[in-house]
């Protein structure tokens, strides 16, 4: 059993925020001696000194500062829990926890959270992981939502809600000055950087290449969008990649779009679990992606 008494910790927290024992005791409607006794019991049980006296003032010790930091978090989360249970909603200032697939486009992730960037009171956390970890974290209520370019597989519709957020066209991207053409058959002498064979984009590109009798000279494969972006920028080869991944390089002229590939898209999904209570910031994020 933990020796930490949260009743004692609450009184310490109240005093530490003002460091005036008399005023705090009056505000809490208890005697100064009783309040002092509560804090002394906390110090004795945890075997630390939380305050020292200087000119009739209480000054936090190093241990006191550390304890205050944890107490602030404990009691602020307690207030959020109280609001959740009494009002049936999460408080607006509670951070929204967003999981992201580690291999997907950072540019798309940033575009998704753009509504939060302009709100001064918005709080959010971004956690990157693989698909299995994303689903496990959602199921354990460690995330409010997940972003992925992989649709949830299986038939467990009672647990997951998987919604298509956006379909980004996939294009042939390369350095300026590369031979250009209006058909994939015009690119037979080029070197290529491609997604791995198991990806939907690669499967679609391979089918299109076969249709145009193109046997691409593949110098590299990468399943990570950030790595594909770097390879497209620095390898001198052509890349098959969504424009959103390299939008900054396209804007600056460091890369050029040569051909939009027909009927090939990178899909982006939002995944949530079936819950009665959703984070209040979720609707704000989804407004930019109607559908």
Split at pLDDT 50, 70, 90, the class of 204 is very high
Could you tell me the residue ranges of all domains in the chain? 6-87, 96-165+269-286, 167-266
- Find the mean pLDDT for residues 48-54: 88
As its CATH architecture, domain 96-165+269-286 has: 3-Layer(aba) Sandwich (3.40)
3-state secondary structure of 5: coil
The region, left, alpha or beta by phi > 0 then psi within -120 to 50, assigned to residue 9 is: alpha
Split at pLDDT 50, 70, 90, the class of 1 is very low
Element (H, E) at 95: none
Q: Which residues of 116-134 are buried (b: 16+ CB within 10 A; e: fewer)?
A: beeeeebebeeebbebebb
As its CATH architecture, domain 167-266 has: 3-Layer(aba) Sandwich (3.40)
96-165+269-286 with 167-266: one CATH topology? yes
Each residue's pLDDT tens digit, 144-167 = 899 999 988 655 545 788 889 999
Rounded distance between C-alpha atoms, residue 26 and residue 35, angstroms:
10
- Find the mean pLDDT for residues 111-127: 87
Would you give the distance in Å from CA 40 to the centre of its chain? Answer: 42
Each residue's pLDDT tens digit, 95-114 = 888 999 999 999 999 999 99
Rounded distance between C-alpha atoms, residue 224 and residue 195, angstroms:
8
Q: Is the pLDDT at 63 greater than 60, yes or no? A: yes
The CATH fold assigned to 6-87 is Arc Repressor Mutant, subunit A (1.10.10)
Split at pLDDT 50, 70, 90, the class of 239 is very high
When comparing pLDDT for 271 and 158, which is higher?
271
pTM to 2 decimal places: 0.65
Q: pLDDT value at position 90?
A: 54
DSSP state of 152: P
Pair 271, 138: CB distance under 8 Å: yes
Burial of 136 (0-12, 13-18, 19+ CB in 10 A): middle
């Amino acid at each position: 059993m933990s020796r930490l008494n949260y009743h004692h910790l609450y009184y310490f927290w109240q005093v530490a925020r003002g460091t005036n024992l008399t005023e705090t005791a009056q505000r809490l409607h208890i005697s100064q001696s009783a309040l002092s006794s509560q804090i002394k019991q906390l110090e004795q049980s945890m075997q630390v000194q939380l305050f020292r006296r200087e000119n009739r003032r209480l000054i936090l010790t190093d241990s006191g500062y550390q304890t205050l930091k944890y107490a602030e978090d404990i009691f602020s989360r307690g207030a959020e829990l109280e609001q959740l249970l009494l009002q049936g909603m999460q408080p607006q200032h509670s951070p929204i926890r967003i999981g992201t697939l580690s291999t997907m486009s950072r540019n798309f992730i940033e575009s998704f959270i753009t509504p939060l960037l302009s709100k001064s009171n918005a709080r959010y956390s971004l956690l990157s992981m693989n698909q299995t970890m994303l689903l496990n974290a959602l199921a354990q209520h460690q995330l409010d939502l997940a972003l992925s370019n992989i649709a949830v597989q299986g038939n467990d519709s009672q647990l997951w809600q998987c919604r298509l957020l956006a379909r980004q066209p996939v294009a042939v991207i390369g350095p300026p000055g590369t031979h250009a053409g209006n058909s994939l058959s015009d690119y037979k002498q080029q070197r290529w950087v491609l997604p791995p064979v198991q990806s939907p984009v690669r499967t679609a590109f391979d089918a299109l290449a076969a249709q145009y009798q193109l046997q691409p000279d593949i110098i590299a494969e990468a399943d990570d969008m950030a790595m594909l972006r770097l390879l497209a920028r620095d390898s001198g080869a052509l890349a098959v990649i969504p424009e959103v991944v390299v939008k900054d390089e396209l804007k600056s002229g460091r890369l050029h779009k040569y051909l939009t590939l027909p009927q090939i898209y990178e899909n982006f999904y939002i995944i949530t679990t079936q819950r009665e209570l959703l984070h209040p910031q979720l609707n704000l994020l989804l407004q930019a992606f109607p559908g």
